Chains A and B, each alone.
Chain A
Amino acid sequence: MIDLVAFIPRAIGQSVPLLFGCTGEIITEKSGNLNLGIPGVMYVGGICGVIGAFAYEQASKGNMIGILAIGIPMLCSLIGSLLMGLLYCFLTVSLRANQNVTGLAMTTFGVGFGNFFGGSLIKLSGSDLPTISLSKTSSFFSASLPFADKLGWFGKIFLSYGFLTYLAIIIAAAAGLIIKKTRTGLHLRAVGENPATADAAGIDVVRYKYISTCLGCMIAGLGGLYYVMDYASGIWSNDAFGDRGWLAIALVIFCIWKPGLGILASILFGGLYIVYLYIPAGMDHMEYKELYKMIPYVVTLIVLVITSMRNKKENQPPASLGLPYFRENR
């Protein structure tokens, strides 16, 4: 049947962008901001990384230094998604625009931004295919530990990944701990649940919303970067990132706003996302494969139904999610 040793690393490879997006969105939502712009932010994070890498590859003429080859695209990616986060916060927190509309607009904008600059770079590089290949930069990103190959199946399943994979897991675990165990986390939860209460208790609601949303965007942006540089081996082609951003938002619901749970859930989703490749359907029934692609979304719906039915307060979204806060509102 399914070759697990081959399947699991691929599932994990699929899961990393989802995990970045999911952790970023959880941190954002915990502050009461429903950022539906995450798919767009991930696009921007990806293309900004590509721009940085492209510029550095051109400038270095082949003599690339590892730290710069990783550092420059990463910095570009973080700055790009930070700007998106600031834009979102300015609109929804400072101007109190509708969060759903703003988020959706930002997704449209982000995808367009990515495709526009992607298309421009493809023209600049003058390649025959509609893609940009940054294989040199990618080799730095996807470098795994040197002894991973020698450890058989263990090495393949646990050690065969680039550093961003581990970073994703570390960030998710850290986010989980911070939200649950620290005072900052307690304040963040209070802001998302009941900003008026948090405000009356002396917590700077606006600051918490800005910082958590921008941080969330930066983390999500790394998901886009990982996708291009590691998963796609440095090849950018327009629209290749697909609907992973939406899947990341679905994942937030699936893991009931717990980043720690997000690690496992993202791997499960990653597996479900590609499971259709591993299920023998034959050539006669290609349409079945299309049905299998639905599985992650169906699972999310089921989880949503179950958590709503159980109606446990702790498993519900933050109470003021999606609502603007203005102190002098009565």
Chain B
Amino acid sequence: MCCRLFERRMLREGEAPQKGTFWGPGRKRKKLRRESRDQEMSETAIEFKNISKQFGNVYANKNISLKLYKGEILALLGENGSGKTTLMNMLAGIYYPDEGSIAVDGKEVSIRSPKDALSLGIGMVHQHFKLVDVLTATENVILGLPGKLNIKEAETKIREICDRYGFVVDPNKKIYDMTVSEKQTVEIVKVLYRGVNILILDEPTAVLTPQEAERLFRVIWRMRNDGKAIIIITHKMHEVKEISDRVAILRKGEYIGEMATEDADIQELTNMMVGRAVSLNIERKTPVNPKPKIEVEHLTILDEEGVAKISDVSFTANSGEILGIAGISGCGQKELLECISGLVKPLNGHVYYVEEDESRTDLVNLNPLQIQQKGIALSFVPEDRLGMGLVGSMDIADNMMLRSFRYGATQQDIDRVNKSRFLENLKQKMQPFTDRKTPRNLAQTVVEDLNVVTPSINTPVSNLSGGNVQKVLVGREIASHPKVLMTAYAVRGLDINSSYQIYDLINKQKESGTAVIYVGEDLDVLLELSDRILVLCGGRVSGIIDGRGANKEEVGLMMTSMGGEQGK
């Protein structure tokens, strides 16, 4: 089943002719790749020699030696927190190594600041874009360069770069008006404008749609064929197979090994990453006694500008079942989940929560607190982890407390008092102070059970890597024993091992009778995990299909071909 992962090429040219221009015919790409294969890869662009970097007592990188050749694409693999980004940040001048040295073009160099890195021809596109929102694309591109300010001249040069590599970017557009993909284009133009020879891309496809990712790959190939050396950090195995020439693997800050991509297979790479054999299968048990839990009827949601993000959506989520939601990103998935969890008021329609005795409660006019007080256990793992899910500057234990602080009692107590108004009032009166002990224990459990890499539970969550942040959030939500669990892009930015741990957790919730609504972007996983799949297209339901019989092409078509409203 694992090979499905890297075979995944959603919506190839044949299936979606109207979109074919995005990445052109597949044959051309093959040709591009072969040309570069013939190139001699002997010239070293970068050499890391015994690099070490410590944060506190933890080694982020330990004694790493690694070479990068000109005209190749190196994929850097590793679990969350294995030190990939740290290593790259040392190349980009954000961090300075504690030990070891870096050689560029055979000469040993000292990279003390991003400026030094740029002058050596090293450019990095960070995972979190480094762009100034209120400035235009051009202003961002020329930021930091010396000389007189000449916007016109810069614009001309940007247009030349765009033509050369096939980008589309409006130089006068402000960053805050841009989509994620446009922002990334600006980032890449920014490094190209500076004439870099070594390009580092830190999880470039994490926030892109498959189409946008394909477009990005074409650009990367073109750069490689220009003789540039490229390092790409990614968690998506099929991308590693698709784009890279060589793979290097890090584990817990240490260098494990490397191999030519041709010789690598996903199972082997994963085992090297994790350090033991990992099963890449997703179990899908037949739902036991599914009963309707959430019934959504004719839901319409407008965004702030009054544009309908969700129009006339109806579906049912059953207990003990995973309902997958597929769709190009920005098709209303976020709004739908936020509406069910009480964060957004719809224009019209109803969201019913069905009790065990089949009585129905309309959640539409309740806020999350009121829903909780009615004894309805909804859990929502939002897309924006540090914005909506957790408080970045607070530690893991305090973030656990966000769900329980109101009661000064344990989660079990909450479940109990929810049943009785009298008890609840009594509890609140009797306990003016919050209970810090239970959240601390919970934090400890989550850290241990989900293998969160952190110095301690007193570490602010913003200091954790993306995957660990997600584990903390999912861990907290699951610990509250939800009846309905909603997750939006639960594995975004997570390495393959963590992703499978999350799938496992979700499956366990399903088995315990929770109704799970899973919004995902990886179609393969959606197809393997979901019992039923709801496909959204431009805010409308283009179909609800059974997860077992469905094939990817069918779902892919449903995602794009309805009413002419395609993803942007």
Contacts and interface: CB of A to CB of B under 8 A. Distances in A.
A182 B149 contact: yes
B94 A327 contact: yes
Given A182-B149, A186-B139, A190-B143, A197 B92 contact: no
A183 interface: yes
Contacts of A196: 130
A234 to B, nearest CB: 43
A200 B95 CA distance: 11
Which secondary structure dominates where chain A touches chain B? Answer: helix
Contact of B113 (A181, A186, A190, A202): A202
Contacts of A290: none
B133 interface: yes
B132 A197 contact: yes
B114 interface: yes
Interface in A180-220: 181-183, 186-187, 189-190, 193-194, 196-204
A204 B132 CA distance: 16
A328 interface: yes
Given A200-B124, A202-B114, A190 B176 contact: no
Contacts of A199: 94, 113-114
Nearest to A194: B132
Interface residues of B, number: 31
Contact of B134 (A181, A313, A330): A313
Q: Which of B92, B132, B139, B140 has the most CB of A within 10 A?
A: B132
Contact of A319 (B95, B118, B133, B139): B133
B130 A193 contact: no
A284 interface: no
A172 B321 CA distance: 66
Contact of B463 (A186, A198, A330): A330
B227 to A, nearest CB: 24
A200 B149 contact: no
Interface in B230-269: none
B135 interface: yes
Contacts of B92: 200
Q: Which of B114, B130, B144, B176 has the most CB of A within 10 A?
A: B144
Contacts of A194: 130-133
A201 B133 contact: no
A194 B129 CA distance: 11
Interface string A296-330: 00000000000000000110100100000001101
Nearest to B146: A183
A328 B143 contact: no
Contacts of B147: 183
Interface of A: 181-183, 186-187, 189-190, 193-194, 196-204, 313-314, 316, 319, 327-328, 330
Interface of B: 92, 94-95, 113-115, 118-119, 124, 126, 130-135, 139-140, 142-149, 174, 176, 190, 462-463
